[in-house]
Amino acid sequence: MTLVVHAIDAGYGAVRVLHQLGFSARAGEVTCILGRNGAGKTTTLRAIMGLLPLDAGAVHLGDEDISALPASETASRGIALVPQGRRLFGALSVSENLDVGLMARRASSTRTDNDIREHVLTLFPRLRERMKQRASTLSGGEQQMLATARALCIEPKVLLLDEPSEGLQPSIAALLRDTTRQLAEDGVAVVLVEQHIDTVLALADKAILIENGRLEKSLAKDQLDATVLSRHLGV
Amino acid sequence: MEFGPHLVLALLEGSITAAVLALTAAGLAIVFGILRVVNVAHGEFFMLGAVIAWFVTTTLADVFGASPAVGFACAAIIAPLTTGLIAMLTDKLVLSRINYDPERTIVATIGLLYVLQQLTLMSFGPDARPVEAPFNTRIALPWPELGPNGWALSWPWGFGTTTYKLFVIVAAASVLVSLWLLLKHTRIGLIMRATEQDRDMATAFGVRVNRVYSRVFGLGAALAALGAVLVVPIQQAHYLMGGDPLLLSFIVVIIGGLGSVSGTVLAAVIIGLTDGIVSVFFSATLAKIIATVAVALVLVFRPQGLLGHRAP
Ligand SMILES: Nc1ncnc2c1ncn2[C@@H]1O[C@H](COP(=O)(O)OP(=O)(O)OP(=O)(O)O)[C@@H](O)[C@H]1O
Ligand SMILES: [Mg+2]
């Protein structure tokens, strides 16, 4: 199923951050969102989730206009967010964080809670040993795994990942990269905000570049190379 | 009476204060913890609980000739339920409309305080009204004493309590245990705790935050009302009775750690027992002074409270 963002305007109070931003993310593909700090990448994902009201434009998932729904309904349509900075429920245990994800699962889901929990724990076995631990006491890498696992509990059709590799050691970043690729191969539409050029090159099927909240450029897979990216990311 | 029995009596009185205070303050604590607002009208929900309990018991007695026990049992259900619904209504009419903005909520709930107080004065009148306890048997307590033939139990004159006072302690403790089970071991409790942790992420995971807020506000008010129902056979209902519970609830919520329910209960026990002992041996005023000094010391030396977490 394709997620289509139609020329959205959004912002915080009187401050408009996104201007006529539009793009689409197809099932089975990784769509990367690139842009400098403050360009509006996180704001874009929040707007898709419905956490930020749209001043104009719409977001469609398949045939449905999901921007007309209350924000709490977005998850039930199969859209999951792995936010920047993880934002776990810190005082809750690892297991309870997964429970919150399981509660939000799509109504059409046919698998049991246990099946899904087992599935995500197979992806991230380190979490299994820490089920009773408070999420805030996990290491950074474990927290990122939990944030991802929590999102996967809703069996997403669309997965929004906001800088998942920020501050992680290379091996854990690689594990998350493999997981992301596998999810796309399984048919999930992945939207990935990413600053690391090698990760973008390894994963992206296409990329959009945001500058000052506007769509600056859309790059197909064959247009992605290190020189182009480093010029746009200003690194 | 000697010192020992006297102390036990003071502790018993303190336990009753602690039990009622813990219930009332737990209500304030969950509202603060989850909605992040200070409800200045919390004491008025307590007052409403007492007044409704009086209304239910007298109506049932006058109209149906119900016994005090039946009247009290009905009041214990109807008063918290009605108060909770009134709170949910104010949430819908006022708090949700100002989007739970912390400062505006303080002003709005001060207004609510006066509205509830004056409406009660107009309908219920200025008199204090008693509610008969459902049961009130005196129990004399034994005291061990070392006599010429070794240890023996004596029954000091005036050393005793009533079944109702013991019931208050047991009832409050059971409600607090249920609240704890609700928060820690049910789906709705999980939703409440997730909302408390991160409102946006809870929304992203399908939680209808406004509905949670409304229910928590209702639950907080219902806990205060229940505390009042328990205390009203001992204390009488009056339209100005909300002041003390509000002040003491603030004190224990701050000492316990803002929003921490277990900290609040711990602080209520400490303040309640201290209050009992100091009131019996010295004076009730000194007890209030000590509580206020304690809160000042906590604010200076441990601002996060006994069991609270430092702000991240
Ligand atoms: N809660 C907020 N209130 C007001 N302005 C905000 C808020 N959050 C973000 N902004 C502003 O919106 C703009 C875009 O922020 P956003 O977080 O979307 O950037 P970003 O592209 O994700 O940056 P980064 O790479 O640093 O994560 C910035 O100018 C930021 O200051
Ligand atoms: Mg960002």
Task: For residue B71, give the CATH number of its domain.
Answer: 1.10.3470
Q: Are strands A64-65 and B150-154 parallel, antiparallel or unpaired?
A: unpaired
Query: How many domains does chain B fold into?
Result: 1
The answer to whether A174 faces chain B, any CB pair under 8 Å, is: no
Contact by Cβ (8 Å): A197, A229: yes
DSSP designation for B33: I
pLDDT in tens, B266-306: 999 999 999 999 998 999 899 989 999 999 999 899 888 88
Q: Tell me, what amino acid is at B257?
A: G
Task: Specify the residue for token string 């289509």.
Answer: A4
Contact by Cβ (8 Å): A136, A184: no
pLDDT at A235: 57
pLDDT in tens, A167-203: 899 999 999 999 999 999 999 999 999 988 889 999 9
pLDDT above 70 (res B310): no
Answer yes or no: do A92 and B190 touch at CB < 8 A.
yes
Range of the domain at B56: 3-135+158-301
Domains with residue ranges and CATH for chain A: 3-87+156-230 (3.40.50.300)
pLDDT in tens, B24-34: 999 999 999 99
Which chain B positions have a beta carbon within 8 Å of A83's beta carbon? Answer: 201, 204
Q: What is the mean pLDDT of residues B219-223?
A: 98
pLDDT in tens, A78-87: 999 999 999 9
pLDDT band at B243 (very low <50, low <70, confident <90, very high): very high
pLDDT band at B154 (very low <50, low <70, confident <90, very high): confident
pLDDT at B312: 45
Q: Which two tokens stand for residue B153?
A: 């139990």
Q: Which helix (H) or strand (E) holds B57?
A: helix B42-64
Q: What is the mean pLDDT of residues B87-111?
A: 96
Inside any domain, residue B64:
yes
What's the half-sphere exposure (Cβ side, CA atoms, 13 Å) at A67? 22
Q: What is the mean pLDDT of residues A98-103?
A: 96
Average pLDDT, chain A: 94
Answer yes or no: do B194 and A100 touch at CB < 8 A.
yes
Inside any domain, residue B152:
no
Inside any domain, residue B286:
yes
Q: Are strands A189-193 and A30-34 parallel, antiparallel or unpaired?
A: parallel
Q: Which two tokens stand for residue A158?
A: 């669309």
Ligand 1, atom 4: closest residue by C-alpha: A12
pLDDT in tens, B170-181: 999 999 999 999
Structural Rg of chain A based on CA atoms:
17
Q: Tell me, what amino acid is at B18?
A: A
pLDDT in tens, B68-90: 999 999 999 999 999 999 999 99
Please give the angle made by the CA atoms of B302, B26 and B226, to the nearest 5 degrees.
155
Contact by Cβ (8 Å): B309, B286: no
The answer to whether B101 faces chain A, any CB pair under 8 Å, is: no
- Min mean pLDDT across A124-133, A209-218, B264-273, B297-306 is at B297-306
Q: What is the ipTM of this complex?
A: 0.94
The answer to whether B191 faces chain A, any CB pair under 8 Å, is: yes
